[in-house]
Amino acid sequence: MANELRRIIYDPNDVPHPTFAGSILWVGLFFLPLPLMLLVHWYFQQQPQTSIWLRLLSVLTFGDWRVGLIAAITFSACVALVAWLMRSESKIAELVQACTDNAGLRGWTLTTIIVTPLVSILLILLRKMGVVELVLVSGVEAALASARTLERFPPEEVDLVPADLMVEVEELKKGKGATVNFSWSFAPNPLASPESLSLQIAFNTERIEQARDIDHRIVRDEDLLRFIAVSLKMPEIFAIASLLHEEHEKRHWSPFQRAMNVLALVASFNADESNTGLPKRLAIETLYEKIGTTGDLVITAATLLRALGRTVPDTVLVVRGDGKAVALGIAGAGEMPKEMQGFEHEGEVYFFCLPQRIESKWQWHTGQRIAGWESIRILRLP
């Protein structure tokens, strides 16, 4: 059960998804204004009769200015809320979800859906409810039934650094070694301007030389996993992952945004002139030199994402059918439109992610598989 709770499908801090926006619209536009209109109608019209049923419909033309004013204010406020959620990095989405979580949304939603029809029937029998009230209550019912609770990434303490590497990781974070500066841009919300990010980390030059002496030949798919496994034993990888995690926590980014930030980081590197689809370097070499092939960037991103653990979505390696190129698969595409879905593996839908050189800059293709990648093999990260 714990593993299921940790699975990341979609988080409300992500770029607003149609399902999330739809839920806000339903609850915001119907769950709040309709009950208010219903209460105001009951207050001003103690026992509605057929002759005044249509009077409430005049609120849209402000025939009844009191009801119309309340409807206009609540409607405008809810539209503004949705617009803000979709165009800003505000924490309103997180607040809304936290409130509904704390209130037990699942429980009281089901209770309301069941109890409301019973109360409505009683009011109809007592002639205390007319057609207008019935329509308003039906709208509330539809809003409750349509709104869905989004899966949340559980708040928990994250300790990314293995105990045996902790001391050396802290020294590298303090700059004890050959320091390397990283600068890149990332837009957590595609509708907003990119943010400038940076971090500084030290490398042990002796370990870099040892990494260069390791066998770099790619003969089988398992050699790709070996590249990642070897790098995950090096403190530099976890030092970078730790600094990234601190920045992610400070900015309250969602798991998907964190993964995209890692891709943006490696996309800031220079391109190797002999660009190939397979890696020529271990992740620690690519990070130290800030240069790499397509395969180098994929392996480096995969290594950092693996080091970030459960703070990012599940990631897999995607090997092209001919074995001459590698890409990434990042989980969480199941709720997205078909044109954004890369492939399905073991019941999970992944984004297909591949770095491409466009106008002398690396850019990640994220979405469907591109031509030439019809046949693929999936490798779980070590």
At 8 the pLDDT is: 35
**Nearest-CA neighbor of 271 among 236, 240, 295?**
295
**Would strands 343-345 and 361-367 be described as parallel, antiparallel, or unpaired?**
unpaired
User: Does 186 share its domain with 325?
Assistant: yes
**Burial class, 340, CB count within 10 angstroms (exposed 0-12 / middle 13-18 / buried 19+):** middle
User: Does 358 share its domain with 218?
Assistant: yes
Q: Which of 115, 146, 177 is the last residue of a domain?
A: 146
- Asked whether the predicted pLDDT for residue 138 surpasses 60, the reply is yes
In a domain, 287, yes or no: yes
- Asked whether the predicted pLDDT for residue 156 surpasses 70, the reply is no
Total domain count for the chain? 2
At 276 the pLDDT is: 79
**Domain residues for 79?**
2-146
Distance of alpha carbon 76 from its chain centroid, rounded? Answer: 28
pLDDT tens for residues 190-226? 778 899 999 999 999 999 999 999 999 998 999 999 9
User: Does 51 share its domain with 187?
Assistant: no
User: Does 192 share its domain with 142?
Assistant: no
200: which strand partners?
A: 181
In a domain, 153, yes or no: no
User: Does 252 share its domain with 322?
Assistant: yes
In a domain, 322, yes or no: yes
User: Does 197 share its domain with 138?
Assistant: no
In a domain, 125, yes or no: yes
Least trusted range by pLDDT, from 96-100, 149-153, 335-339: 149-153
pLDDT tens for residues 46-85? 544 434 444 554 544 445 555 556 666 766 776 676 666 6
SS3 12: coil
In a domain, 70, yes or no: yes
Q: Assign 358 a pLDDT band (cuts: 50, 70, 90).
A: confident
In a domain, 157, yes or no: no
pLDDT tens for residues 281-315? 999 999 999 999 999 999 999 999 999 998 999 99
Predicted TM-score of the model (pTM): 0.63
**Nearest-CA neighbor of 321 among 271, 369, 381?**
369
User: Does 204 share its domain with 93?
Assistant: no
User: Does 79 share its domain with 190?
Assistant: no
Q: Assign 185 a pLDDT band (cuts: 50, 70, 90).
A: very high
User: Does 224 share its domain with 350?
Assistant: yes
% of the chain exceeding 70 in pLDDT: 60
- Asked whether the predicted pLDDT for residue 4 surpasses 90, the reply is no
All residues at 6 or more sequence positions from 201 whose CB lies less than 8 Å from its CB, including other chains? 172, 173, 179, 180, 182, 236, 239, 240, 243
Least trusted range by pLDDT, from 14-23, 31-40, 105-114, 253-262: 14-23
User: Does 197 share its domain with 101?
Assistant: no
In a domain, 152, yes or no: no
Q: Assign 337 a pLDDT band (cuts: 50, 70, 90).
A: confident
User: Does 76 share its domain with 219?
Assistant: no
User: Does 286 share its domain with 204?
Assistant: yes
In a domain, 283, yes or no: yes
